Structure 1
Amino acid sequence: MRRRSFLRAAVIGGGVAAFSGGLWTGAAVGGPIRRVADSPYGPLLPADDNGIELPEGFTSRLVAQSGEKVEGTSYTWHDAPDGGACFVDGDGWIYVSNSEIEPGGGVGAVRFDSGGGIADAYRILDDTRRNCAGGATPWNTWLSCEEVGYGYVFETDPWGAKDAVRRDAMGSFNHEAAACDPVRKVIYLTEDEPDGCFYRFRPDNWGDLGAGGLLEVLVAGDGTSGKATWAEVPTPTPDDGDTPTREQVADAKHFDGGEGCYYAADKCWFTAKGENQVWQFNAADDTFELAYDGDGELGGVDNVTGTSFGDLYVAEDGDNMEICIITPDDVVAPVVRVNGQDESELCGPAFNPAGDRLYFSSQRGTSGSSSGGITYEITGPFRH
C-alpha cells in the first residue's frame, strides 16, 4: 500500500451544520496512515443477532427494512436506502435517507424522540432518479443528489412541511455528494463517473439556493498534490447529448468515481472509489492532496462523515462491508462489520445530535436486491 499522511492540519472543535448552524470540526495531527487490527474502541466481537460485529459496549438495532412499515408508523421504508444525515428536532432528531432506485428515487425520513424511540416516518421527496448521496446545509435542509447522467440536486425539507425544489444552478451531471463550506459560502460537489470532476457551487445568496449562483470545476493538473484553481463551467445544465459538464473545461482535474464528501475546518475530504482513494482539498489556500491511496484497511471507499472529536468514518461499498474509523493520529480500523450481506454496500453514515448513535444502511441487505435494504442504528460510547 502506498501510504500518505491522512490528516494534515490541526483543527479544533465545532458543531454540526444540521444540528447547530455550524459544521463539524475536530482535532487532526499529521503522520503516516498505519493499518491496525483494532479501533480505539478495541477489537470487533463476534456478530450479534443482527449479524453485525461491534466493539465491546456497542449494540445494534434494526430501524427499518425496505418494503415494510417502519415500526409504529404508516410509512413503508423505501428500496435501496443510501446517503443520509441527521437533523435536530426539538429534544429528538430526524434521520433522512435517499432511495437509489430508478424510476422512483426520492427521500424518506424517520423522526426519533428524545429517548431514541421512533415517533414518525414519512416521505420528503418523490419521483426522482437514483438519489444516491447528498449533504446537509447550515439552514437545515437536505440536498439529495441524483446519480444519473444529467442528474440534478434537489433541496428538501427534513420535516416534510415544504415542497422539495430542484436546484438547476447546481448543475446537471452524475451527482453524488455535497458538502457545505460556511466560511467561503460554497458547496462542494462530487461526480460519480470514471472521469468525474470535483465542483464547487457559489450561491448568489448564501442560504437561498433558489437565487442562482456560479458552478465551477477544480483545475489542478495531473499530479497528486499541488495548487488548485477554479474555472467556471460554461453550461451548467446541458441537455442529454450536449457536452457534459466534466468535459467543458479542458484542464479540469478528473477523479475515478467520486463518492462521499465531508467538510470540516477548511478541509473538504472526498472519496474516489474507482482507485480506492481519499483526497483532501484545503480551502484555506486552494491546495489539494491525495491523502489515502491503495489497498489497506479501507476498500470500496464511499460515504464519509465525521465527529467533533476529529474522527472520520468511511463506509465501504462491498469489500469487507465495514465502516472504518480514521483517527486524528492516522489510525485506520473497522468499527462496524456486517456479515452475510456480501452483495450489498454500506451507506448513509450519520450521527445523532448527541453523537452516541450512528445510523447507516445496507443498501441491498441479505437478499442482494434493492428491495432488501436495511437501515440500522449503532449505539455506544463513540468519541465526540
Structure 2
Amino acid sequence: MERRTVLRAAVLGAGTATFAGALWQQAFAAVAQPGPSPYGNLLPVDANGVELPAGFTSRIIARSSRIVPGTGHLWHPAPDGGACFPTADGWIYVSNSEVPLVGGASAVRFRADGSIASAYRILSNTNLNCAGGATPWGTWLSCEETPLGVVYETWPDGSREAEERSRMGRFKHEAAACDPDRRAVYLTEDEGDGCFYRFLPDIWGDLRNGRLQVLCAPADQVAGPVTWADIPDRDGIPTATRKQVGAAKRFAGGEGCWYDRGVCYFTTKGDGRVWAYDAVNQRLDLAYDDSLVPPGTATLTNVDNITGTRSGDLYVAEDGGNMEINIITPSGVVAPFLRLPGQSESEITGPAFSPDGRRLYFSSQRGPGGNIAGSDGITYEVTGPFRP
C-alpha cells in the first residue's frame, strides 16, 4: 500500500487536534473535504475571463509591461505575493515581481471609492521576489526565492527606502506571517526538503536583530506536538540553514503562509497540503490534503499562496491546476471561489483582501500566454458580498 494511502486511513480514522484559531474552533473529525460553496456555483466567464459566483464582479487593475490606468507607472512582470494596507483616504495593494535581478515590488494606491490614485515602485533590483507578508506595524516583507535569498522590509506608501533584514536568515524564502501574540514571524522555504522557521526579534516591531529557529518533529508526523531549535548559522554558508539541525522537520516545498488568532496556516505544493500550526499549544496538524479526499473529488490542487478573512474563511490559490482560488470554510468545506479558464500555463498569486474585506486582489502571474518571463501577467480585483 502506498505511503499516502496509509496516511489517509490513519488521519481520517484518528481525527485531528483542537485549535485555538478561527478556522478550527472545534475538534474536527478529518481534514477539510469538498462540498458546496457558501457562495454557490461558478457562473460562465465574465468580460475579463473570470468565472465567479453570482453577485461578484471583476476588473483588471494592471497588466505587466503596461502603464497602470490613470498613472504613469509601468506594472512589473510576473506579479506574485501581495497584501493590502489601509491609508487615511483608501488603501494600498502591494505586489512582488518574481523575476531575476530586477524583481522588487510595486504598489497601487486606491482612493476611498476604489479608483486608482497612483502606482509606484517600493523595492528595486532584488532577485526573484516571490511571496512575503504584512507586518502589524504596516510594512511589507518581500522575500527572495533564491538559495541565499533574504527578506526585505518595505514601506507600502513609498515613504522610506526598503531595508534588508538578513538576520531573518538566508535561504530560499517564500512567505512570512506575523504572530503578534508570541511576537514571532513565521517563514516558509520553497525547497523539496525545506523547513518551517520562526524569527523572534529582540524588540517587536524591529526586525534588525533576533533569533532564527526551525520547527522540529519526527519526519513522518502529520499531527502532534513540535519543538523549536535555534539555527546555528543563519547566513547558510557553507551549510544551508535547512541542513543545520538534524531534528528539523522537512516539508515538500513551502509556499503561502497566513496567521489567524493562534494558528499559522501554510501550504506545501509538493504534497498538496495545507498545514495548521497551533501556536498556543505548539502542535502541528493538517487542515487539508488533496490525497485525503475521496478519489476524483479534489477541487483544490497545486496549493500555493494563502490568505484569510475575519470570518475565518481561508482562500487558497493554485499554481497551475485548473487555475482556481478555493475557499476553506470554518466548517471544513473546500470549494472553488473563482476560476481563470484558458490560463493553465500560469499560476494565481498574491490573494489579499482590502482592509474593509469587500475586495479581493490577486494576479495571474503569466496570463493566458503563459510567457515564462511574466510579461503577460494580469492583476485583478473582485468585488462582491464576501462573508463578514
The residue that corresponds to 1:333 in the other structure is: 335
The residue that corresponds to 1:15 in the other structure is: none
Spell out, residue by residue over 1:50-76, the C-alpha distance to the aligned partner (whole angstroms, 9 max, x if none).
111000000010010000000010110
Structure 1 residues 27 and 194, CA gap change in structure 2 (3 angstroms): closer
Q: Distance in 2 between matches of 1:230 and 1:27?
A: 23
Query: Normalising by structure 2, what TM-score?
Result: 0.92
The residue that corresponds to 1:382 in the other structure is: 386
Structure 1 residues 6 and 109, CA gap change in structure 2 (3 angstroms): farther
Bigger shift: residues 292-301 or 215-224: 292-301
Aligned partner letter, 1:336: L
SS of equivalent residue, structure 1 residue 246: helix
- Check conservation: 2:20, 2:262, Cα contact below 8 A: no
Q: Point out 4+ residue stretches in structure 1 off by more than 6 angstroms.
A: none
- Check conservation: 1:26, 1:308, Cα contact below 8 A: no
SS of equivalent residue, structure 2 residue 203: coil
**Does residue 268 of the first structure (1) align with residue 270 of the second (2)?**
no
Q: Distance in 1 between matches of 2:331 and 2:346?
A: 30
- Check conservation: 1:219, 1:229, Cα contact below 8 A: yes
Same amino acid, percent of matched pairs = 58
Q: 1:277 aligns with which of 273, 281, 294?
A: 273
The residue that corresponds to 1:364 in the other structure is: 366
**Does residue 221 of the first structure (1) align with residue 212 of the second (2)?**
no
Q: Distance in 1 between matches of 2:344 and 2:263?
A: 33
Q: Distance in 2 between matches of 1:31 and 1:88?
A: 38
- Check conservation: 2:352, 2:362, Cα contact below 8 A: yes
- The CA deviation at 1:31 is 4.3
Q: Distance in 2 between matches of 1:243 and 1:307?
A: 39
- Check conservation: 2:18, 2:24, Cα contact below 8 A: no
Spell out, residue by residue over 1:291-337, the C-alpha distance to the aligned partner (whole angstroms, 9 max, x if none).
22234121010010000001000000011100000001111000110
The residue that corresponds to 1:19 in the other structure is: none
Spell out, residue by residue over 1:323-370, the C-alpha distance to the aligned partner (whole angstroms, 9 max, x if none).
000001111000110011110000100000111100000000011011
Aligned partner letter, 2:212: L
- The CA deviation at 1:10 is 5.4
- Check conservation: 1:132, 1:144, Cα contact below 8 A: yes
Task: Give the unaligned 5+ runs of structure 2.
Answer: 292-297
SS of equivalent residue, structure 1 residue 169: helix
- The CA deviation at 1:6 is 8.2
Q: Distance in 1 between matches of 2:18 and 2:322?
A: 27
SS of equivalent residue, structure 1 residue 98: strand
Aligned partner letter, 1:218: L
- The CA deviation at 1:103 is 1.8
Bigger shift: residues 220-229 or 67-76: 220-229
- The CA deviation at 1:9 is 3.0
Aligned partner letter, 2:77: D
Structure 1 residues 105 and 333, CA gap change in structure 2 (3 angstroms): same
The residue that corresponds to 2:33 in the other structure is: 34
Q: Distance in 1 between matches of 2:247 and 2:147?
A: 21
The residue that corresponds to 1:9 in the other structure is: 19
Structure 1 residues 26 and 221, CA gap change in structure 2 (3 angstroms): closer
Q: 2:44 aligns with which of 40, 43, 46?
A: 46
- Check conservation: 2:81, 2:95, Cα contact below 8 A: yes
Q: 1:232 aligns with which of 220, 230, 233?
A: 230
Spell out, residue by residue over 1:130-170, the C-alpha distance to the aligned partner (whole angstroms, 9 max, x if none).
00000000000000000011000000000011010000100
Spell out, residue by residue over 1:118-138, the C-alpha distance to the aligned partner (whole angstroms, 9 max, x if none).
000000000000000000000
Aligned partner letter, 1:9: F
Aligned partner letter, 2:215: L
- The CA deviation at 1:90 is 1.1
**Does residue 129 of the first structure (1) align with residue 127 of the second (2)?**
yes
SS of equivalent residue, structure 1 residue 52: coil
- Check conservation: 1:136, 1:180, Cα contact below 8 A: yes
- Check conservation: 1:129, 1:146, Cα contact below 8 A: yes
Structure 1 residues 327 and 315, CA gap change in structure 2 (3 angstroms): same
Q: Distance in 1 between matches of 2:376 and 2:29?
A: 41
Q: How does 1:1-384 map to 2 (within 5 A)?
A: 2=8, 8-9=18-19, 11=21, 28-29=25-26, 30-32=28-30, 33-36=32-35, 38-210=36-208, 212-222=209-219, 223-239=221-237, 242-295=238-291, 296-369=298-371, 370-384=374-388
- Check conservation: 1:28, 1:329, Cα contact below 8 A: no
Count of aligned pairs: 367
Q: Distance in 2 between matches of 1:293 and 1:60?
A: 29
Q: Distance in 1 between matches of 2:163 and 2:337?
A: 36
- The CA deviation at 1:27 is 7.2
Q: Distance in 1 between matches of 2:310 and 2:286?
A: 23
SS of equivalent residue, structure 1 residue 235: coil
SS of equivalent residue, structure 1 residue 159: coil
Query: Normalising by structure 1, what TM-score?
Result: 0.93
- Check conservation: 2:20, 2:280, Cα contact below 8 A: no
Q: Distance in 2 between matches of 1:347 and 1:7?
A: 30
Spell out, residue by residue over 1:75-130, the C-alpha distance to the aligned partner (whole angstroms, 9 max, x if none).
10000000000000113000000000002110000000001000000000000000
Aligned partner letter, 2:317: A
Q: Distance in 1 between matches of 2:25 and 2:48?
A: 33
Question: How large is the Cα RMSD of the aligned pairs?
Answer: 1.5
Spell out, residue by residue over 1:13-32, the C-alpha distance to the aligned partner (whole angstroms, 9 max, x if none).
xxxxxxxxxxxx56744343
Aligned partner letter, 2:313: D
Structure 1 residues 6 and 376, CA gap change in structure 2 (3 angstroms): farther
SS of equivalent residue, structure 1 residue 275: coil
Bigger shift: residues 168-177 or 279-288: 279-288
Bigger shift: residues 1-10 or 171-180: 1-10
SS of equivalent residue, structure 2 residue 321: coil
- Check conservation: 2:254, 2:267, Cα contact below 8 A: yes
